[in-house]
Chains A and B, each alone.
Chain A
Amino acid sequence: MELSRRHILLLSGVGLAAFGGGFYAGSIQHHAPDLRDTLLAVLDDPASAAAAGRAWFQSSGVSELDGDALALGLARRLKLQGWNSKGEVTLKEALGKSIRHDFETDDMVSIAGWQFARTSAELCALAASAPAPEA
């Protein structure tokens, strides 16, 4: 499945609603930018990830991404892999687990032919959605 406008809407709608209790619950709207920063902190080269993210959504005909919704959707994925506020599973560990789960379930996204785990692709898209750092 490629990223589509419908997919983005789903992420910002259903994904938001389903995010419910637990980690980051209760103040999603206010904390989404922080969440995005938290997720992107795992990348030591966000620029290359952003390039891949842009390649993905541009090839899917999407011109603008809702970064907050992407962050929430990704966080939900990682929560399913045990990522929580207690720190029992680190972000990198949860990412690794989610990526492996994607490959196990054949949930791969093609970015210029490269087979990304959907989790990785969404992380790239999130990087692409981040505002450019101030000069």
Chain B
Amino acid sequence: MFIDGRTIPDGTVIETDLAIIGAGAAGITMARALADTGIDIALIESGGFEFDPATQELTEGASTGVSYPLDTSRLRYFGGSTNHWGGWCRPLNAPDFEKRDWVPWSGWPISRTDLDPFYVRAAEVCELGASSFDDPAPWSSQSGNRPLPLQGGEVETRYFLFSPPTRFGTRYRKDIGTAPRVRTYLHSNVTNIVTDDQAAEVQSLTIRTLDGKGYEIRPKRCVLATGGIENARLLLASSHAIPAGLGNGHGVVGRFFMEHIHVPGQIAFVALSDSRMFSPYYQDHERIGTGWVRGVFMMSDDYLRHKKRLGSNMAIYSDHAPTIDPVKAAQDPGLAVEPAVSNMIRQTTSGAPAGAIPMIYGISCATEQAPDPASRITLSREKDALGMPRAELHWTLNALDRRSLAGNIRAIARAFGLWGEGRVRIVFDQGEDWADEEVGWGNHHMGTTRMSDDPRFGVVDADCRVHGMSNLYVAGSSVFTTGGAVNPTLTLVALALRLADHLKAGN
């Protein structure tokens, strides 16, 4: 059942077994997973079924570090940011969960093995139709696509699978609307999580609507699932019992904000001796069997360990023939050199057959960011239309982030060169010294309520329960301890399913 919060009489008190704050990927996944378990669920959503500027405006906030738009990087209506996601899905790699001695603050309290069964279920939720992320065999046998035999052991082909993309708000609206025990409150903004005096137990949720009304939900248990920025914002703003905010006894809430570092445009180009070597799945997602798949280049586990770097994933986009137009070549020295590069490959290291057609491809790159307590969400002095302090993001990059990106680009240049059929042009050649203005992002907000067994270093425990609180949990990418080099949706859905199982078991 869907209920417009604006129609609920002022001062109404609603009791429920479980409140889920936020109807995005995590919240909808949990509500569906728990719909038939006998638990009464209140799913609380700030927006309605459509984009509404006034509601979206509630996400606006300040950016004091690397310039970052808080309002356009997420969507605040039923379905959340799945209303504009691209569908890229891939699990984190096993080493991403491990303590890496060169990555400060790394190490999840759970392993990839713990999450594996939930990744399988998450793939179904995201409608991937397949689940082979590392083994090229299924994609080769059905289509003739082949991974490039890059050499040197530093760079490997790995696979993203694509969600249609599933718009959770549309795709699962009927499931949610017809579930007898799920009541979805739309146009309802939680502005305060009210606890006991010790801030150990959630007692009620203060809900406001943009037309000035208010009501209250009293849950036995509560899951916060409003995204990597809002989760921290609401915990920090719920400060009546403890001034620092809920779960923030050690000042960790809001810290460790992580993104996937992008460089706008092409970070590099690769010249290939023969365009036929590049299987179609590298340039765009390909329908193969029951899944949509795309090959990307990622750094090998051995390379990352040996070089002490963070990972990247690099995807191929545009292509063009080696430039012979003197006008274009005069404008860009890199274009002027393209014929030489192609000829040099052919004349020295290539084994390409006669008739090979050289081609040049653009490469984009997303890189993991190291957890850093200085990169953080705090509360602004400015308030939104509901009187809540706005979020203020101070996003920073550190030396390891920069060193990793610069080093990983060189690694892909080595990999193609060693293979002998390709050469790489590094467009983003600032090395480790690049300006914040050159930094891009993936609209992935991670780490602000990170998972750790130790409350000094994390906000939630391995069960996603807020440290020191009996009945408050967090779902979403804000619980990521580290972010890996892949898009977060599949992992956050897997974690939401895992949390649903935990709650289902009566914990």
A: residues with CB less than 8 A from B are: 42-45, 48-49, 51-52, 55, 59, 92, 95-96, 99-100, 102-104, 106, 108, 110-117, 120, 123-124
Q: Which of A110, A120, A124 contacts B429 (CB 8 A)?
A: A110
Given contacts A42-B347, A115-B426, A120-B348, contact A52 B410 (CB under 8 A): no
**Could you show 8 A-B contacts with beta carbons less than 8 Å apart?**
A42-B348, A48-B340, A92-B347, A100-B418, A100-B420, A103-B418, A113-B426, A115-B413
Total number of B residues with any Cβ neighbor in A under 8 Å = 28
B341 in contact (CB, < 8 A): yes
Which residues on A sit within 8 Å (CB–CB) of B429?
110, 113
A49 contacts B340, CB within 8 Å? yes
* Chain B residue with the shortest CB-CB distance to A121: B344
Whole-angstrom distance between the alpha carbons of A104 and B338 in the complex? 23
B347 contacts A43, CB within 8 Å? yes
B348 contacts A115, CB within 8 Å? no
A113 contacts B427, CB within 8 Å? yes
Which of B340, B343, B413, B429 counts the most chain A CB atoms within 10 A? B340
Which residues on B sit within 8 Å (CB–CB) of A106?
410, 414
B337 in contact (CB, < 8 A): yes
Whole-angstrom distance between the alpha carbons of A51 and B337 in the complex? 7
Whole-angstrom distance between the alpha carbons of A61 and B196 in the complex? 72
Which residues on A sit within 8 Å (CB–CB) of B423?
114-116
Which residues on A sit within 8 Å (CB–CB) of B424?
114-115
B348 contacts A111, CB within 8 Å? no
Interface residues of B in 199-215 (CB under 8 A from A): none
B289 in contact (CB, < 8 A): no
B334 in contact (CB, < 8 A): yes
Whole-angstrom distance between the alpha carbons of A114 and B341 in the complex? 8
Which of B334, B341, B424 counts the most chain A CB atoms within 10 A? B341
Not counting A55-B336, A92-B348, A115-B424, a sample of 4 additional A-B residue pairs whose C-beta atoms are within 8 angstroms of each other reads A100-B349, A106-B410, A112-B333, A112-B336
Which residues on B sit within 8 Å (CB–CB) of A92?
347-348
Whole-angstrom distance between the alpha carbons of A49 and B339 in the complex? 8
B417 contacts A113, CB within 8 Å? no
B420 contacts A55, CB within 8 Å? no
Secondary structure dominating the interface of B: helix
Which residues on B sit within 8 Å (CB–CB) of A52?
337, 340-341, 344
Min Cβ gap B422→A in Å is 10
B: residues with CB less than 8 A from A are: 152, 271, 332-334, 336-341, 343-344, 347-349, 410, 413-414, 417-418, 420, 423-427, 429
B340 contacts A115, CB within 8 Å? no
Min Cβ gap A60→B in Å is 13
B333 contacts A124, CB within 8 Å? no
Given contacts A43-B343, A55-B336, A112-B337, contact A117 B417 (CB under 8 A): yes
Whole-angstrom distance between the alpha carbons of A44 and B339 in the complex? 12
Min Cβ gap A7→B in Å is 20
Whole-angstrom distance between the alpha carbons of A116 and B349 in the complex? 12
Q: Which of A45, A55, A116 contacts B333 (CB 8 A)?
A: A55
Given contacts A103-B418, A108-B410, A115-B410, contact A45 B337 (CB under 8 A): no
A96 contacts B413, CB within 8 Å? no
Given contacts A110-B426, A115-B425, contact A99 B343 (CB under 8 A): no
Which residues on A sit within 8 Å (CB–CB) of B337?
51-52, 55, 111-112, 114
Which residues on B sit within 8 Å (CB–CB) of A95?
348-349
Whole-angstrom distance between the alpha carbons of A124 and B423 in the complex? 15
Given contacts A115-B423, A116-B423, contact A108 B340 (CB under 8 A): no
Min Cβ gap A75→B in Å is 15
Whole-angstrom distance between the alpha carbons of A43 and B343 in the complex? 8
Which residues on B sit within 8 Å (CB–CB) of A99?
348-349, 417, 420
Which residues on A sit within 8 Å (CB–CB) of B348?
42, 92, 95-96, 99, 120, 123
A112 contacts B334, CB within 8 Å? yes
A108 contacts B413, CB within 8 Å? yes
Which residues on A sit within 8 Å (CB–CB) of B341?
52, 114, 116
Min Cβ gap B350→A in Å is 9
* Chain A residue with the shortest CB-CB distance to B413: A115
Whole-angstrom distance between the alpha carbons of A112 and B331 in the complex? 12
Q: Which 6 A-B pairs have the closest CB atoms?
A: A103-B417, A52-B340, A112-B333, A115-B413, A48-B340, A48-B339
A45 contacts B427, CB within 8 Å? no
Min Cβ gap A47→B in Å is 9
* Chain B residue with the shortest CB-CB distance to A111: B337
Which of A42, A49, A115, A120 counts the most chain B CB atoms within 10 A? A115
Which residues on A sit within 8 Å (CB–CB) of B426?
110, 113, 115
Which residues on A sit within 8 Å (CB–CB) of B333?
55, 59, 112-113
B343 contacts A45, CB within 8 Å? yes
B420 contacts A116, CB within 8 Å? no
Which of A99, A102, A111, A114 counts the most chain B CB atoms within 10 A? A114
Min Cβ gap B308→A in Å is 15
Q: Which of B336, B343, B414 contacts A44 (CB 8 A)?
A: B343
A104 contacts B418, CB within 8 Å? yes
Min Cβ gap A111→B in Å is 6
Given contacts A108-B414, A110-B429, contact A48 B349 (CB under 8 A): no
Min Cβ gap A110→B in Å is 7
* Chain A residue with the shortest CB-CB distance to B418: A103
Min Cβ gap B325→A in Å is 14
Whole-angstrom distance between the alpha carbons of A110 and B427 in the complex? 11
Whole-angstrom distance between the alpha carbons of A96 and B410 in the complex? 20
Min Cβ gap A105→B in Å is 9
Which residues on A sit within 8 Å (CB–CB) of B425?
112-115
